[in-house]
Amino acid sequence: MALSNKGIRHLSRVLFKNPAVNFQVASLSTSKKNGATAQQVLTLDSMNPSVKNIEYAVRGPIVIRASQLKQELADGVEKPFKEVIFSNIGDAHAMGQQYNTFLRQVVALCVYPELLNLDSFPEDAKLRARRILEGCGGNSVGAYSASSGIDVIRQDVTKYIEERDGIPNSCDVNDIFLSTGASDGVVAILKLLVAGEGASRTGVMIPIPQYPLYSASVAELDAAMVPYYLNEESNWSLDVDELQRAYDAAADSCKPKVLCVINPGNPTGQVLSYDNIVDIIKFAKKNSLFLMADEVYQDNVYAENCAFHSFKKVLLHLGEGYMDQVELVSFHSMSKGYMGECGFRGGYMETFNINPGVKEQLIKLVSTKLCPPILGQAAMDVAVNPPQPHEPSYELFIKEKNDVLNSLATKAKLTAKMFNQTPGITCNEVQGAMYSFPQIHLPAAAIEEAESKNMAPDAFYAFQLLENTGICVVPGSGFGQKPGTYHFRMTILPPTEKMDSLFESFRKFHMEFLEKYST
C-alpha cells in the first residue's frame, strides 16, 4: 500500500517546517521510489465488518456537506443563501433556544462552589447544589460517582417517576441507572440482549421509520433487525397486527426477543394513546418480548387531544400477569423536553421486572465506563426535582419552561400546516417530539435521475434542497420508510421569526424542483 495522503502531509510537514527533526528522516521521494511501505494493519478490508455496516443518517453525508457549506459561506464564497439552517438534529440550543436559568445556576454552583457565597444566587438553587455536592465523593463533581449514578439524584428520579405516573411507592431506586444521554442506556440494554447465531440470533423489533441509533446499534452488535412499519395513513400509529406480521415474518430467520417503541415518536412525532400502549404490552407478553420504551420526548406533547402515558404506568395498571412479568426498560434524557441540554449528556433508564442476576451483569457492564458525567447527572436532578411553588425560583422556572414548550407547540402546528399547503407534500400532525416527517411525492424523472446517480431519491432531493436553500434536513431513507415512499425529517426548532422565510425559501425550491422534473 502506498503512503496515505495523511502520511505524506505529516512527512512533508516535519520535513519542511521543522529543521530539528529534518536530519532524522530520509526524504519522502526516496521512500516513495522504494515503494517499501508496509501493509497497514487496519484497513477497510481488515476492520470490524459490523462497524462498517453501521449507518447513522442524523450525522451522515448531508450534514458533513452542510458543515462545508457553512465554512464556505464564512470564507466569503457566493451561495444562493445567506446561512445554513441545521434542521437535521434535535439540538435546541444550537438553534437559539435559551438555557433554563435555574438549571444552569445549580450546575454552576456545583462546578465552582465558591459561588455559594454569592447573594445573587437564589437559595433554592444553592440548596440543590449543596445536596448534590454532599452526594459526591469528597463533595466534588470531580469525583467518580457510583456507576449507576449519584444516590440522591437517583432517589429524585424515583420521586419524579412516581409523581409523573401518579402511583406512589411504585419505583425502586435500585432500578434507576443514570446514563450518558439516553443513547448510552439503549446501547447497554441491547448489549445484554444480543446472543446466539443464525436462526437463534436475537431479533430486535424496531419501528420504521425509526431513530437510527437503533439500527446502528443492532448492526454493530450483529443482532437481527425486525422492522415493523408505523401507519402513515393514520398519523403514524402503531398497529398491533403489523407487529404480529413483522414478528411472524422474522421468526424463521432469528429469535425476536426485543420490542423497541419510541413514544412520542422520532422521527414521526406521533403520541401513543393509552389503549394503544395496553395493546402493545399485551402483544409483548403474548410473544415473550422484552420491552424497550424510548420516552425521551415525554415533555414534548403538543396536540390538544394527546397526552403522554409511560409504559411503566400502563404496565402497573394492567396488574397481575403484567406488572409482575413483562420486562421493561424505559429511557429519558436531558437533551430534549424544555431543557434541550444535549451537550450535558445526561439521562437515565428505569429497569423493571429485570432478572436480578442480569441486573448485576448490567451494573458490571456500566461500571466498565466508570460513571456518567457528573454535571449531566446534576442537570438531570434539576429536571426531576424542579423548583416548587413556595420556592424563590419557581415563577421564573415555570415561565421559561412554558415559553419553550409553547413555542415548540406553535412551530409544530405551523410546520405541518406549511407543508400541507405545498403541492406534492403531505405531512401528518406533529403531535409530539421535535420533528416533522413529511412525505414528498417525487416526479418519476427525479427518481430516475437520483437512481442514475446511485442516490436514494429522497437523499437526492435533500441534497438539492441544501445546495439551493441552505436548509439541512435528513433524508427519510436514513430512518427507513415503506418502499416507494419518500420523506425527510425536519426539526421544528428553527426560531419562530425565521420560520416564515424558511418555508418561503423551501416552497420556492420545491416548486422549481417539481417543475424541473415534471415533464
Positions 279 through 308 that interact with a second copy (CB under 8 A): 285, 288-290
Helices (H), 97-226: 101-111, 123-134, 151-165, 181-193, 213-220
Q: Beta strand 224-229 with 176-179: parallel, antiparallel or unpaired?
A: unpaired
Q: Which of 482, 472, 492, 509 is nearest to 58 (CA)?
A: 472
Compute the half-sphere exposure of residue 460: CA atoms within 13 Å on the CB side of its CA: 20
When binding is defined by CB under 8 A, the residue of 72, 80, 166, 234 that contacts a second copy is 166
Q: Considering the complex, what minimum distance in angstroms separates the CB of residue 109 from a second copy? A: 8
Asked if 457 interacts with a second copy (CB under 8 A), we say: no
Asked if 209 interacts with a second copy (CB under 8 A), we say: no
Q: Which of 399, 405, 472 is nearest to 432 (CA)?
A: 405
Asked if 35 interacts with a second copy (CB under 8 A), we say: no
Helices (H), 140-273: 151-165, 181-193, 213-220, 240-250
Round to whole Å and give the CA distance between 65 and 406.
32
For a second copy, which is the closer residue by CB, 94 or 306?
94
For a second copy, which is the closer residue by CB, 39 or 519?
39
When binding is defined by CB under 8 A, the residue of 85, 152, 161, 213 that contacts a second copy is 213
Asked if 145 interacts with a second copy (CB under 8 A), we say: yes
Q: Beta strand 435-436 with 488-491: parallel, antiparallel or unpaired?
A: antiparallel
Binding piece for a second copy, criterion CB under 8 A, among 15-23, 225-233, 420-428, 437-445: 15-23
When binding is defined by CB under 8 A, the residue of 65, 73, 79, 108 that contacts a second copy is 108
Residues 46-85 contacting a second copy, CB under 8 A: 46-49, 51-52, 54, 56, 58-59, 67
Q: Which amino acid, residue 331?
A: F
Here's the x/- map for a second copy, 328-367, by CB under 8 A: it reads as -----------xxxxxxx------xxxxxxx--x--xx-x
Here's the x/- map for a second copy, 395-434, by CB under 8 A: it reads as ----------------------------------------
For a second copy, which is the closer residue by CB, 170 or 422?
170
The three cell numbers locating residue 387: 423548583
Please count the other Cβ atoms lying within 10 Å of the Cβ belonging to residue 71. 11
When binding is defined by CB under 8 A, the residue of 65, 79, 130, 191 that contacts a second copy is 191
User: At 277, phi and psi to the nearest 5?
Assistant: -65, -40
Q: Considering the complex, what minimum distance in angstroms separates the CB of residue 358 from a second copy? A: 5
Residues 256-275 contacting a second copy, CB under 8 A: 257-258
Asked if 137 interacts with a second copy (CB under 8 A), we say: yes
Asked if 184 interacts with a second copy (CB under 8 A), we say: yes
For a second copy, which is the closer residue by CB, 220 or 295?
220
Q: How far apart are the first and last CA of the chain?
A: 49
- Asked whether the bond before 61 is cis by omega within 30 degrees of 0, the reply is no
SS3 call for 245: helix
CA 484, distance to chain mean position in Å, is 26
Q: Which amino acid, residue 267?
A: P
When binding is defined by CB under 8 A, the residue of 144, 241, 307, 511 that contacts a second copy is 144
Q: What's the chain's length in residues? A: 519
